Structure 1
Amino acid sequence: MTVRFERLERESVNSTSSIQRSVTQASPAAEAVEHPFAVEVVRPGLQLVLEDLGRPGNAALGVSASGTADRRALRAANRAVGNAPGTAGFELAGGGAVLRFTGPTVVAVTGAAADTEIVRSDGPSLPVEHGTATAIEDGEELHLGWVGEGLRTVVAVRGGLDLEPALDSLASDTLAGLGPGDVGGRPLREGDVVPLHGPSAAPYAVDPCPAPSDQLPAPGDTVELRIVLGPRDDWFTDAGVRTLVEQEWTVTPRSDRVGVRLEGAVPLERAVPGELPSEGAVTGAIQVPPDGQPVLFLPDHPLTGGYPIIGAVIDRDLDLAGQLPPGVRIRFRPVAEIRGD
């Protein structure tokens, strides 16, 4: 069975309000007139995307939930600036981005920590404390350095993003090409301008107490992820299942928002050859291609597949899974007995 993913296009609307609510590429001067509050991407870093908590409940349409890879970080950033918990923000993999702001606002940076500062044209740069609400003025730039621990940094802006949602969400699904405004699920590029609602649109007061930073892994560290075996663990030998939970797996550089590609010294041994009819997959599913090296699905994963799923990471550990940089080693710990014990 062949599964085909097609990009969903929203209807074009020629009204002025629709144009002003799209991510555009134009001169900063023109955008300043159209959008009293906006963010221009001066440098996008390795991968900069727009994400909220996703669009669950659309599997029947062939659309995954998508959403931020670190829900805890997004909620903490929004709480800091006074937004509702699921308000969309910026998710940056690896660091190295520069964002220029039109109009004054308040930002918070959470998730993977990077040296972050506000660069001003008329004064010295100001350091940004991780997880703390920080005021930023018109024309100033937010510079996000490279991360040393974890992978994904989240930036929330007070009032949120003023964009047209796709299926009631501003999440960017990089696999399906589905996302807000004219982005269509793609990563942001240099020159993109994202309009904002403005700080007065935030429903809550700024939180003066920053959330404590999570300890995130660095390359070379070993982390434990809890899993539930199945539904297709019976497609593997007893030795193959034991290899999954007894061997360390290394996160490879080929990982992305679709999945974390793993590599182990011993591939998983199959008991049943070939593929099965395409069946559903969830975020956290551990799918095993023919080479026996697992792929841990992240938010932009395909909804179906014919490779057997040997287990799935529990929901509580999914945020950690979204923060695994290349070089981290993983040990899977089942939360139920392994067959054969």
Structure 2
Amino acid sequence: MIEIISPGPYATVQDLGRPGYGHLGVPRSGAADAPSLRLANRLVGNPESAAGIELTFGGARLRFTAGAWVAVTGAPCLLESLPAGRTASPGMGAPFWVPAGGELLTAIPSTGLRTYVAVRGGVDVPVVMGSRSTDSLSGLGPPPLRPGTILPVGPAGTLPSIIVDAAPPPGAPTNVLRVLRGPRDDWFAPGALAVLCAGPYEVSQDSNRVGVRLSGACLERSRQGELPSEGMVAGAVQVPPSGQPIVFLADHPPTGGYPVIAVLISADLAKAAQLRPGDQIRFHLG
């Protein structure tokens, strides 16, 4: 089991989400940076869909009541392992052993926002609608982690041997998000897409797992009023009456009534999930 001594600013259990329930008003949810969770699971021999811990701004302290193989990916941060009687400094992107009673401490990330902790066997909280993920919008799944939370770990006896020693280091982060023309770009004044891509936009403090709120040039509309509510996807760049865009993330609502001027390409969703308040980004129309 894993005891949460400190969850940091915000931490949740996440897997790859619960797709297929949008018609019931249930978001997909799941890891905001899915590639990082997939990688962490592969490093410890788990299926990519196993549940792990998503940390926001690091700062967590986890205690392992039984020895476990662990891997940490995503936003890079210093790690400290406190086994009985000694201190170790494991690295990101490689499996390492935490003995029974040992603790794992994560510092604040040097860049990025979300860090993922996978344990061999996976976090074995109850499945709700096909997923163990915490959904911050609908409230499905386990509540956000807090001091004293105990997370069970699944059995590892049938898992394949760990054969990955380390993952290649991630490439240098860029501040460009690639987008395609959205389904409602005709609701905006001529040249609005060019304004969006001229940038830069700054990430707001009000961002969360639902969406990245941006501040910058106002995107003016050519039509008044609002749309009937229609389906939304992760990566949709929705524009409320303020004219300031919002990039939807994993916990976005299944429907929305504000026009979508552009949509991120799927390859850049993880990049958007790692944006932190104060970061500046630009959009590039593909």
TM value normalised by structure 1: 0.82
**Aligned equivalents of 2:274, 2:171: Cα separation in 1:** 10
> In structure 1, what is the equivalent of residue 149 of structure 2?
192
- Once residues 110 and 68 of structure 2 are traced to their aligned partners in structure 1, the CA distance between those partners, rounded to angstroms, is 28
Distance 1:74 1:196 in 2: 16
- Structure 2 CA distance for aligned equivalents of residues 207 and 170 of structure 1: 26
| Equivalent position to 2:132, from 170, 188, 191 | 170
- From 199, 215, 228, the equivalent of 1:247 is 199
Residue pair 1:245, 1:333 contacting (<8 A) in 2 also: yes
Whether the aligned pair in 2 keeps the contact of 1:250 and 1:328 (CA below 8 Å) is: yes
Q: Is the 8 A contact 1:216 1:323 kept in 2?
A: no
In structure 2, C-alpha distance between the alignment counterparts of 1:162 and 1:173, rounded to whole Å: 16
Match of 1:108?
71
Aligned-pair distance for 1:306?
Answer: 1.0
* Residue 297, structure 1, aligned to residue 248, structure 2: yes
The within-5 A match list for 1:1-341 is 38-120=1-83, 122-179=84-141, 183=142, 186-201=143-158, 203-215=159-171, 217=173, 223-264=175-216, 266-335=217-286
| Aligned 8 A contact 2:121 2:154 in 1 | yes
CA contact (8 A) 1:260 1:298 kept: yes
The 1:297–1:216 alpha-carbon spacing in structure 2 relative to 1, beyond 3 Å, is farther
Q: Is the 8 A contact 1:105 1:198 kept in 2?
A: no
Distance in 1, matches of 2:114 and 2:165, equals 22
* Structure number, greater radius of gyration: 1
Deviation at 1:99, TM superposition (A): 0.5
C-alpha distance in structure 2 between counterparts of 1:113 and 1:48, whole Å: 16
8 Å CA contact 1:110–1:213 kept in 2: the answer is no
C-alpha distance after superposition, 1:262-283 (max 9, x if no partner)? 000x200111122111111100
Moved over 3 A (4+): none
Partners of 1:261 and 1:189 in 2: CA distance: 26
SS of residue matched to 2:60: strand
* TM superposition shift of 1:315: 0.6
CA distance in 1, matches of 2:255, 2:34: 23
CA distance in 2, matches of 1:246, 1:300: 28
In the alignment, the residues of structure 1 paired with residue 69 and residue 78 of structure 2 have an alpha-carbon distance, to the nearest angstrom, of: 18
TM superposition shift of 1:216: 5.9
Give the drift of 1:161.
Answer: 1.8
Consecutive unaligned residues of structure 1, counting only runs of 5 or more, are 1-37, 336-341
CA RMSD of aligned residues (A): 1.2
Q: Distance in 2 between matches of 1:325 and 1:162?
A: 29
Contact 1:150–1:216 (CA<8 Å) still a contact in 2? no
For the Cα contact (< 8 Å) 1:59–1:303, is it kept in 2?
yes
In 1, Cα distance between equivalents of 2:31 and 2:204? 20
* Kept in 2: contact 1:107–1:135 (CA 8 A): yes
Q: Are the aligned partners of 2:51 and 2:124 in contact in 1 as well (CA < 8 Å)?
A: no
- Distance across 2 between alignment mates of 1:88 and 1:244: 36
**2:6 and 2:147 in contact (8 A); partners too:** yes
| Whole-angstrom CA distance in 2 between matches of 1:207 and 1:76 | 13
Q: Percent identity?
A: 47
Q: What is the aligned length?
A: 286
The separation in 2 between residues aligned to 1:216 and 1:93, in whole angstroms, is: 20
Give the TM-score of the pair, scaled to structure 2: 0.97
